[in-house]
Amino acid sequence: MNILIVEDERVAARHLERMVRDVLGDKIGEVHRRETLDDSEDCLSSNRIDVLLLDLNLQGQDGFDLLRRAVAESFQTIVVSANTDRALEAYEYGVLDFVPKPLDRERLSRAFQRLERPGGVSAKMLVIRNHGRLQIVPVEQISYLKGAGDYAEIHLYDGGLALHGKSLEQLERILPSHFVRIHKSYIADMHEALTLHVHGGGKYELETRQGLRLPVSRMRYRELRERLES
């Protein structure tokens, strides 16, 4: 198992590495340590990383920026941070776990155990507040999103509907790359896109494998057509 530790305090990074080696034992492979977002992104692009251990405060930079850049990558992320007020935001990025500082070996061990548990490695997800309770929605269940003012309607493949407190613009930045803006008010899962329809008066629609027809803007039509033909 190859690990990337992103931590700008060298003493803390060395301490975390020792704890990870103790927890993983002979399961561990390469361990990389980086202190900045740019160096971390370079490491991710040039090495096969299985688990990213991410601090959130990196010399004034936001650790979540790394996840925004690499949202469609295949590694799993464990956030290691004292900023426990950002745990909910972390789960919106689909992180495997949020381990609070100061570090505890048993707590870190439980986070890694989720990698080995059947079904424990979940798809990236959105976390929604629903009547005061948290609802976790894996992105693989999302058919499309529709703008609703300052909110977004999340339409699920099973016919369910949820409201998210973020706008389409915000959600577009954190969803995997196969979720594409097709209209100012719609984001669609292009994995399920079937064909485009052209109607009179400059009206365009995207048909999905579920038989839905979603509006497509004139500006997005050519890009979507090229994507479907490729």
Rounded (10°) angle between helices 105-116 and 10-24: 50
Average pLDDT score over the chain: 88
Instruction: Look at residue 202 in the predicted model and tell me its pLDDT.
Output: 85
Instruction: Look at residue 68 in the predicted model and tell me its pLDDT.
Output: 75
Paired residues of 187 in beta bridges? 145, 181
pTM of the predicted model, to two decimals?
0.57
Q: What number of CA atoms fall less than 13 Å from residue 10's CA on the CB side?
A: 0
Whether 12 and 21 have beta carbons less than 8 Å apart is answered as no
β-pairing verdict for 76-81 and 97-100: parallel
pLDDT in tens, 11-28: 999 999 999 999 999 999
- Rounded CA gap, 210 and 208, in Å? 5
Whether 208 and 197 have beta carbons less than 8 Å apart is answered as no
Greater model confidence, 88 or 6: 6
Query: Stretch 128-142: mean pLDDT, rounded?
Result: 75
Give me the architecture of the 129-229 domain, per CATH: Beta Barrel (2.40)
Query: Stretch 80-100: mean pLDDT, rounded?
Result: 87
Domain 3-116 shares a fold with domain 129-229: no
Domain edges within the chain: 3-116, 129-229
- Rounded CA gap, 77 and 196, in Å? 36
When pLDDT is cut at 50, 70 and 90, the band that residue 121 belongs to is very low
Instruction: Look at residue 114 in the predicted model and tell me its pLDDT.
Output: 81
Query: Stretch 129-140: mean pLDDT, rounded?
Result: 72
Q: Is 195 helix (H, G, I), strand (E, B) or coil?
A: strand
172 pLDDT higher than 90: no
To which CATH superfamily is domain 3-116 assigned? Answer: Response regulator (3.40.50.2300)
116 pLDDT higher than 90: no
- Rounded CA gap, 212 and 186, in Å? 13
60 pLDDT higher than 50: yes
Q: Is 68 helix (H, G, I), strand (E, B) or coil?
A: helix
